[in-house]
């Protein structure tokens, strides 16, 4: 220890030598990870994937936003293809599953109620996807089979040939590289509403 130097002064200098680089690193990393990185990623996304970066919004012919291709909506009326049930009533804040056990009477009641609402759509057995909720409650897709099951009801409500409705389903069927084919219900209903025979009261 140098002559005449108090021990506590040496300790203060040593502490300062430790804290200064530590605090500098915290500030630097905060700027990099909290400011620079998000700005770079956002900028690249806006240039390379603008539609996806802004929520995969779906627009109608007039340019009005009708929803997102990533989030299911509730459709009512025989003239629309209906989405999967939602445990959270299609609310994004309350998204999620009901977590009811198979033995829970509330689950059985909900399934029976949904089945009753769909009973007049077809004489065929109701596809399971139309009676069960997804994990998020906001799955925007249905299987082509679950959509085709509703085709007869939609065709009758819109006074369209069944084969024309089925052709529209085929045109909106997505076939990903991995996974089964799916149909985005919002996109299908948007396409359906572009047909000349769309009822005047059929508004998304």
> Residue 95: what pLDDT?
79
Q: In this model, does residue 80 exceed pLDDT 80? A: yes
Instruction: Report which of 102, 157, 148, 97 is spatially closest to residue 127, judged by C-alpha positions.
Output: 148
Are 63 and 141 in a shared domain? yes
* Tens digits of residue pLDDT in 150-204: 999 999 999 999 999 999 999 999 999 999 999 999 999 999 988 876 555 555 6
Average pLDDT, the chain: 86
Lowest mean pLDDT among 29-38, 79-88, 138-147: 79-88
> Residue 135: what pLDDT?
85
| Tally of CB atoms within 10 A around 83 | 25
Backbone φ, ψ for residue 58 (5° rounding): -110, 130
Give percent of the chain above pLDDT 90.
46
* Tens digits of residue pLDDT in 170-181: 999 999 999 999
- Is residue 1 one of the residues assigned to a domain? no
Are 96 and 114 in a shared domain? yes
- Is residue 103 one of the residues assigned to a domain? yes
Are 60 and 40 in a shared domain? no
Report the distance separating Cα 35 and Cα 43, nearest Å: 12
> Residue 140: what pLDDT?
94
Instruction: Report which of 172, 199, 170 is spatially closest to residue 185, judged by C-alpha positions.
Output: 172
Q: 140 near 69, Cβ under 8 Å?
A: yes
> Residue 157: what pLDDT?
92
Exposure letters 122-139 (e unless 16+ CB within 10 A, then b): eeeebbebbbebbebbbb
Are 91 and 187 in a shared domain? yes
Residue 13 — pLDDT band, cuts 50, 70, 90?
low
User: In this structure, what DSSP letter does residue 130 have?
Assistant: G
Q: In this model, does residue 85 exceed pLDDT 60? A: yes
Are 149 and 70 in a shared domain? yes
Are 81 and 168 in a shared domain? yes
Are 41 and 131 in a shared domain? no
Average pLDDT score over residue span 49-74: 89
- Is residue 102 one of the residues assigned to a domain? yes
- Is residue 203 one of the residues assigned to a domain? no
> Residue 116: what pLDDT?
87
> Residue 96: what pLDDT?
78
Instruction: Report which of 87, 83, 88, 89 is spatially closest to residue 70, judged by C-alpha positions.
Output: 83
Range of the domain at 25: 7-51
Give percent of the chain above pLDDT 70.
89
Q: In this model, does residue 120 exceed pLDDT 90? A: no
Residue 73 — pLDDT band, cuts 50, 70, 90?
very high
């Amino acid at each position: 220890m140098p002559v005449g130097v108090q021990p506590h002064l040496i300790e203060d200098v040593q502490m300062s030598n430790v804290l200064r680089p530590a605090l500098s690193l915290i500030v630097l990393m905060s700027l990099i990870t909290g400011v620079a990185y998000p700005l770079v990623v956002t900028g690249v996304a806006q240039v390379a994937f603008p539609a996806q970066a802004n929520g995969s919004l779906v627009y109608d012919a007039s340019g009005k936003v009708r929803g997102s291709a990533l989030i299911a909506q509730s459709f009512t009326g025989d003239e629309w293809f209906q989405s999967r049930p939602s445990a959270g009533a299609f609310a994004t804040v309350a998204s999620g599953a009901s977590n009811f056990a198979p033995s829970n009477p509330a689950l059985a009641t909900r399934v029976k109620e949904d089945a009753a609402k769909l009973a007049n759509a077809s004489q065929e057995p109701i596809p399971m996807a139309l009676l069960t909720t997804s994990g998020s409650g906001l799955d925007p897709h249905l299987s082509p089979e679950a959509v085709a099951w509703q085709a007869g009801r939609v065709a009758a409500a819109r006074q369209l040939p069944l084969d024309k409705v089925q052709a529209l389903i085929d045109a909106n069927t997505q076939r990903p590289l991995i996974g089964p084919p799916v149909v985005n219900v919002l996109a299908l209903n948007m396409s359906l509403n572009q047909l000349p025979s769309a009822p005047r009261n059929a508004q998304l």
